[in-house]
A = this chain, B = another copy of it.
Amino acid sequence: MPLYRRLAEHYQGAIQAGTLVAGDRMPSVRDLMRQHQVSLSTALQTLRHMEEGGWLEARPRSGYFVRQPRRSAIRPVQEPKSLIAIDPAQYVGIHEKVSKYIAQRQASAPAIDLSGMTCAPELYAVDTLKQAAMRALRDRPELLTSAMPHNGNHTFRQAVARRALNAGMRIDADEVVVTHGCIEALNLALRAVAGPGDTIAVESPTYFGLLQALENLGMKALEIPTSPHTGISSEALELAVRTYGNIKAVVVVPNLQNPLGCIMPDASKDKLVRLCEELRLPLIEDDAYTELADGNAPPSSLKSRDRSGNVIYCASLNKVLAPGMRLGWMNGGRWHERVKMLKFTHTRANEEWTQVTAADFIASPGYDRHLRRLRQLLKEQRERMAESIAAYFPEGTRLNVPNGGVGMWVELPAQICSQQLFELALAEGVGVSPGAIFSNSNRYGHFLRICCGHPFTRELDQALRQLGRIGHMLAAG
């Protein structure tokens, strides 16, 4: 990172921590040069970079001042109004809605696509991965033509098991099953503990891919009230289990929930894991984003609290390592043997070549460097986008700016139909995800999920301005 950016970081951190507040005068160019022993050009670049990022404003003949972040005027998304889960009898099928959404998005191929949860390719270590891949091909070309070991390549399983160990999870390499992304892991986890006709508790809102998978497996999703700040409510879950019976499992994204972006506090995680143990309710943990949390101490997992094998842990390297490699892995807890068998009958083993390439990178010091850089870039992009949303979106918009990850959950004024906004934006070449696909109980019709995985550019800013304009138009009715 160049010197001016490191210096900008230093002051931005102080603003975020509240050491410097809106209206405070920034050190002058001369001060910066003296205090930090930097050149005139570095000092100037630092101030301009912070101004461009919306952190400072220049006042003629007075210097730079810390700016009131526009998004400080924007309120957070509201808490759920009740702890009572909606009666599944009121549910609508999600398939058609999601299929229509995906088809529309694919057909339009928007120029600026903020609908997914994937980061731009340039955020990943493409050269390092390419070198690792070349090495794998040179050293072990026979991987291309040999039958694969069941459950995954040993070196890869060892590499992820070691990282899990550092995150407080004791999962040995031979207790890891490698999967095609997290979605296969979730499918296997669900099939391991439940069957057609069974009900599965999920967060509300939740990832549409999970709702779709459930519907395809003939299972019913019961949406549990979930705080946009502290995650799924254990009280609401307990109430639902006592009300509805026949709930066979609960699926939870404890860290950087999709779409909410929230991280459950440790106490809530403890409570949830203990509750599920007491109820003998299998707890399926979906972990795709933890390593993208801000800072260098990722939040803890539910699995690290598991004493009885009641937690099925499903992880993805898709967002973290590389979206083009589609690697996931899982540990089935006390259903692990059944998970292994289901994986075998489902897709057999994963290709070894990809795993060897990934293991090479994951076991190297470069991997943590990559993660630090990725987190930092995502944070910058997120902050910049939040500022633009605050500036352009209609009065009454609420926003959660999460402490990590790839998405933001935006609550629009209640009269705005986000499906309409989605369609109008698509016609202008901008893709977003409408809130309604994150629930099958007709909720979240005025919410949007916006991806912040792309570098903040003038075009991206322009796209957010367009979204804001459409929002204003729809708000006016």
Q: Which residues of A contact B (CB under 8 A)?
A: 95, 99, 102, 106, 116, 118, 121-127, 129-130, 133-134, 137, 141-148, 150, 180-181, 183-184, 187, 191, 195-196, 209, 212-213, 216, 218, 322-326, 341-342, 344-354
Contact = CB atoms under 8 A, between A and B. Distances in A.
A143 B129 CA distance: 11
Contacts of A106: 150
Contact of A144 (B122, B129, B143, B342): B129
Contact of A351 (B145, B218, B326, B346): B326
Nearest to A127: B141
Central interface residue in A99, A122, A342, A352, by most chain B CB within 10 Å: A99
Contacts of A216: 191, 341-342, 345-346
Contact of A118 (B125, B130, B147, B345): B147
Nearest to A327: B351
A195 B213 contact: no
B127 A145 contact: no
A145 to B, nearest CB: 4
12 contacts: A121-B145, A124-B145, A125-B145, A137-B137, A144-B324, A146-B323, A147-B323, A148-B323, A184-B347, A191-B216, A324-B352, A324-B353
B345 A212 contact: yes
Nearest to A130: B141
Contacts of A116: 147
A366 to B, nearest CB: 14
A423 B143 CA distance: 29
Number of copies: 2
B351 A324 contact: yes
Given A121-B146, A213-B345, A326-B349, 4 more contacts: A116-B147, A137-B137, A181-B348, A354-B354
Nearest to A116: B147
B187 A346 contact: yes
Nearest to A453: B147
Contacts of A341: 95, 99, 212, 216
Contact of A323 (B95, B121, B145): B145
A181 B347 contact: yes
Contacts of A324: 142-148, 351-353
Contacts of A347: 180-181, 183-184, 187, 326, 347
Contacts of A118: 147
Contacts of A195: 196, 218
A264 B145 CA distance: 29
Contacts of A353: 133, 324, 354
A466 to B, nearest CB: 23
Contacts of A122: 145
Given A218-B196, A322-B144, A180 B348 contact: yes
A285 to B, nearest CB: 19
Nearest to A146: B121
A126 B350 CA distance: 19
Contacts of A129: 141, 144-145
A355 to B, nearest CB: 11
A125 B142 CA distance: 10
Contacts of A346: 183-184, 187, 213, 216, 346
Given A345-B209, A347-B183, A347-B347, A126 B144 contact: yes
